[in-house]
Amino acid sequence: MNNTKVRMGMVGGAEGAFIGAIHRIAARLDGLIDLVAGSFSSDPIRSRATADMLGINPSRNYDSYQQMFIEEAKLPEDKRIDFVVIVTPNHLHFSIAKLAIESGFHVLSDKPATLNLQEALILEQTLNQTECLYGLTHTYTGYPMIKEARHRIAQGELGNIRKVVVEYSQGWLASNEDEQGKQAKWRLDPAKAGISCCIADIGVHAANLAEYVSGLEISALCADLNHVVPGRTLDDDGTVLLRFDNQAKGVLLASQIALGEENNLNLRIYGDKASIEWNQMEPNSLWLKSHSAPTVLLRSGIALKSTAAKNALRAPAGHPEGYLEAFANIYVNFAKQIKAKKLAEIATNEQFDVPGIKQAIRGMAFIENAVEASNKDSKWHTFKIG
């Protein structure tokens, strides 16, 4: 595989935008990617200020993403961007991704993939008509110990999976006063966030993590979503009962009004031989428990069985790695996928461990199925796609 860096363009993420800065740090961590172009804001002045701050050539700072795709496509193949990363509010994801793909550029998108499921299905059709790659930043799949847990489950260490419990609790939207920030305002606006706030923002992460680690797929659900803080129209809290395709049961808890919680993502998976437990607040640890052996604390960098987990590490054992590194693992794997594509090698999302269009569609389906189920009086609802 050649040493040429993969060239990235960014849509959104102007100076001061939280997630845009996180994406940029993650992209450059391993030295495989160069940010060379962008349309960082719908405000040209703000976009130019961000480009100047980042050292982007003024000729490659664009007033719109449409202009960026047109102008970048005119450049020689060894100069133009290879992929675009989308870090805008939800309602813009689809139009940007679709035009990027139609313009011949690979896409890495923040989640959720689109505003609704229909857009995700159209995006899949668009991809199928091109050779473009698509990735989704389900960050928590990037943690080494999550990859270790997935490997051990796939190898049968837990036996037959019986129950999955995943909780994602935050407290940053616990009151009306918390709604004043830019991040809060668009997430609580149906025109920009879609039909859900909490489930679309963090519940979809929890659902993705449950499926990724367990190797199972949600087949039915029962949901109770709430808008707890007065005056809100979108959910800020929810509980979803899950049934998986092997008939295992599960519980998904998601809340943004859990006062005092920071970013409490916790996963427990129980089999008939053993169980695992992982928490994002202590990401370098994975607990392995059973009735027939002592409980074992597995630590990142020590006696790992999974090649994917080993490849996701950058520091020796005992040196903490966390959210930025997990985010970077999505980027480095996507960059390697693009490099393989350039060399006419096999470049599937599965091979490079990158969440792709399948996960995008399942995520949007989870959001819509959960909202629909919550609005019904009946208990269980088949998980539907399309």
Structure confidence by residue, pLDDT tens digits, 153-202: 999 999 999 999 999 999 999 999 999 888 899 999 999 999 999 999 99
If residue 252 lies in a helix (H) or strand (E), which one and from where to where? strand 249-255
Q: Looking at 20-29, 177-186, 359-368, which range is the least confident one? A: 177-186
Classify the C-alpha dihedral 193-197-202-208 as positive or negative: negative
Model pLDDT, residue 36 = 98
Pick the CATH number of 143-315+364-374 from 3.40.1160.10, 1.20.1290.10, 3.30.360.10, 3.90.1150.10: 3.30.360.10
Q: Where along the chain do its domains lie?
A: 6-140+328-355, 143-315+364-374
Cβ atoms within 10 A of the Cβ of 323, count? Answer: 16
Residue 357 CA to residue 363 CA, distance in Å, equals: 10
Of the pLDDT bands very low, low, confident and very high (cuts 50, 70, 90), residue 2 is: low
Please name the residues in contact with 220: beta carbons below 8 A apart, sequence gap of 6 or more.
242, 243, 380, 381, 382, 383
pTM: 0.96
In terms of Cβ atoms closer than 10 Å to its own Cβ (0-12, 13-18, 19+), residue 376 is: exposed
Q: State the DSSP code for 174.
A: S
Residue 323 CA to residue 39 CA, distance in Å, equals: 25
Residue 240 CA to residue 166 CA, distance in Å, equals: 10
**What is the rounded average pLDDT of the residues 313-326?**
92
* Architecture field, domain 6-140+328-355: 3-Layer(aba) Sandwich (3.40)
Inter-axis angle of helices 90-102 and 117-128, to 10 degrees? Answer: 10
